[in-house]
Amino acid sequence: MRLNTNESPFPPPQGWRAEVARLVASIDWNRYPDREAHALRGAIATRHGVDMSSVFVANGSNEVLQTLLLSYAGAKRTVAVFEPTYQLHAHLARISGATVVAGRRSSDYTLSSEEIQRVVSEHSPNVTFLCSPNNPTGRVEAWGNIELLADISSGLVIIDEAYAEFSERSAVELASTSGGNVVVSRTFSKTWSLAGLRLGYVIAPPEIVDMLHAVVLPYHLDSFKQAAGLAALGYVDEMNDRVARIVAERGRITEALSRLDVDTWPSGANFVLFKPRQIGGHATWQRLVDRGVLVRDCSSWSGVEDCLRVTVGTEDENSAFIEALKQALEQSE
């Protein structure tokens, strides 16, 4: 059972699958796609109450982040992250040629306003990332921290909201105003059950969206993906229903973990980070694998030493995980 990559355990709605099969038959396959994905961007804009000129779409939010960094990072520029966080932010920044500076989160994985102020005043980063809810810790960023960063930063502020629908607060309201420096990235991979489609987007001030269109490859978003993504947006109720089930199961996992010999932290995402108190993280991970349960082994990552991250699965999968973890923690050498 795979509970290691924060995918949705549920397939997309049956109605969407049938619609996509019909759409495939009507695509003009001999023609290039709509280069600026007008229909899909329009539907995303409507969903967020912004203008279409504030939406850029790409092949997964990773490609969105890469395009932002190609546009605003690069050689002789500085990108700031607050660790532990999603490792791809620093990785993509380095690939762009930028220097990466890392601020630190506190031991409970919250971020202090002093640390934000220190990083911004010492390094004046051209780009700063915040991930909320944060991967791998699950923490939702304090609203005051997002406002503070937007306020004091002269560079671009990227709020990675890959898991936003699993929590309550979003920074989208800060992202679409012309002249602003905040952008918010989202994905279809988690809440929309469409990791296999590779579709993500950013809400940003229009002049930033123009820049991204200038930098990304021509026709980067194929016709099928545009049509399939647009169709998915017609299933908001089904998406909300799946999110509600995952949030309820997240509560059940958190509650079960609180009765075991592990530390955990509050999660606003579709995963929970935990740390066995008596046994090493990697040893626990192996014991879970031996019982047929694969979780993410974060035990060697800086700042989350000995921690494991479990993705919320179906009810049965979560029960099996909890039982396997109980046995793993009780197992004698």
189 touches ligand PMP by CB under 6 A: yes
Contacts of 6 by beta carbon, 8 Å cutoff, 6+ apart: 135, 163, 190, 269, 270, 271, 311
- Report, in Å, the least distance between residue 171 CB and ligand PMP: 14
6 is a contact residue toward ligand PMP (CB under 6 A)? yes
Rounded to the nearest whole angstrom, what is the least distance from the CB of residue 269 to ligand PMP in the complex? 8
Shortest reach from residue 14's CB to ligand PMP, in Å = 23
CA gyration radius, the chain: 20
Asked if residue 45 lies in contact with residue 55, where contact means CB atoms within 8 angstroms, the answer is: yes
Number of residues that bind ligand PMP (CB under 6 A): 13
Q: How far is CA 163 from the centre of its chain?
A: 5
| 20, 27 Cβ separation under 8 angstroms | no
131 contacts ligand PMP (rule: CB under 6 A): yes
Is 311 an interacting residue with respect to ligand PMP (CB under 6 A)? no
**Which residue number, 137 or 328, has a Cβ lying nearer to ligand PMP?**
137
Nearer to ligand PMP, 52 or 269 (CB): 269
The residues near 184 (Cβ < 8 Å, ≥ 6 apart) are 159, 161, 164, 170, 171, 172, 174, 175, 202, 203, 204
AA letter at 117: Q
Q: Taking the complex as a whole, how short is the minimal distance between the CB of residue 322 and ligand PMP, in angstroms?
A: 23
Binding characters for ligand PMP, 53-92, by CB under 6 A (x = yes): -------xxx-----------------------x------
CB of 161 to ligand PMP, least distance (A): 8
Q: Which is nearer to ligand PMP, 60 or 206 (CB)?
A: 60
Q: Is 167 in the site for ligand PMP (CB under 6 A)?
A: no
Closest of 212, 202, 210 to residue 182, by C-alpha: 202
Q: Does 9 bind ligand PMP (CB under 6 A)?
A: no
Rounded to an integer, what is the distance from CA 5 to the centroid of its chain?
11
Nearest to 198 by CA among 232, 175, 172, 165: 232
Find the binder of ligand PMP among 9, 200, 206, 229 (CB under 6 A): 200
Q: C-beta of 129: minimal distance to ligand PMP in Å? A: 9
Quick check: 183 and 149 in contact, CB under 8 A? no
Smallest distance from ligand PMP to CB 66, Å: 9
Cβ pair 9, 314 in contact under 8 A: yes
Q: Which of 8, 71, 78, 135 is the binder for ligand PMP (CB under 6 A)?
A: 135
Q: Is the peptide bond before 133 cis (omega within 30 degrees of 0)?
A: yes
Residues of this chain that bind ligand PMP (CB under 6 A): 6, 60-62, 86, 131, 135, 160, 162, 187, 189, 195, 200
